Structure 1
Amino acid sequence: MTTAAILTVSDTRQLATDKSGQWLEQALTAANVQVVDRKVVPDDLVDIQAAFLDFERTPLDLIITNGGTGIAQRDVTFPALQPLLPTPIPGFGETFRELSYREIGTHALASRAMAGFNVREQLCYVLPGSTGACKTAFEQLIAPEYEHLLFERRK
């Protein structure tokens, strides 16, 4: 069974109020992916990296983050995680922004969503914090392709 962990980056949410993290957990479970852990951390570069690295030390297939991918000064998820993903998958971010553009227009340009593999060969997705964006990414990109990406990386 595929395993995953979810990391929400937010200064205002906790586990009980984290709608995007809850949605992702339900969607993963429905896709027969076991969610091993789910955390919420503030928009702080060190806190984000520490939580991500905790997940990286856990035997997981997927790590999915949501939140902090915009361009506001408090949005530090991208600079926190980009160095921890040495094998990027550029097509994910490009395609996600294209899909988002169709849904929300030019606001999609501010998204720094990305995907890649970390040094432990875990497939990592870095998503915006809105539930709509998480749905778009999961339903149209992650669910149809994560098994193939894991297979290709591990062969």
Structure 2
Amino acid sequence: IFFILSSHLVKRCIYCPDGWNQPRCPYGWTQFGSRCFTYNQTPMSWDSAKRHCWGLGANLASVHTYWEHQRLVQLLGNTPVWIGGSKGLKGTWFWSDGTGSFFSQWCWGEPSNGHYENCLQMNSNCWLDSWCGYHLPSVCAKNIVN
């Protein structure tokens, strides 16, 4: 009875002690740490995917830790998707959301630096550089708003 009552109170708490009102992700988004992620199954180019995420108040997902990478793998399985990395003019990879700390989980032999392979694709358990014009699903991410 206590468990049922306490879970009901947590869900319906109006005047809660500090820490009880935890921020939540919008419907259809999944929380990992302090960010919300959503999968867009419609295949599109990297640039179109980036604009789609902007329309949701988000960015293509940046991945900063192995833990975040593993959570995305669990969420997506073997689905190849666009995430927010791209290669700048000097060949340096960066996140489209402007965040630093470029954690990487490159597939063996990647980045291959092939001609026009300037966008970051996540495949099952690793990343590869790809032509930005390929049409793939994508993952958007945004910070949780209190």
What TM-score do you get using the length of structure 2 for normalisation? 0.32
Q: Which has the larger radius of gyration?
A: 2
Q: Which has the higher strand share?
A: 2
Q: Which has the higher helix share?
A: 1
Which structure is richer in relative contact order (CA contacts within 8 A, separation 6 or more)?
2
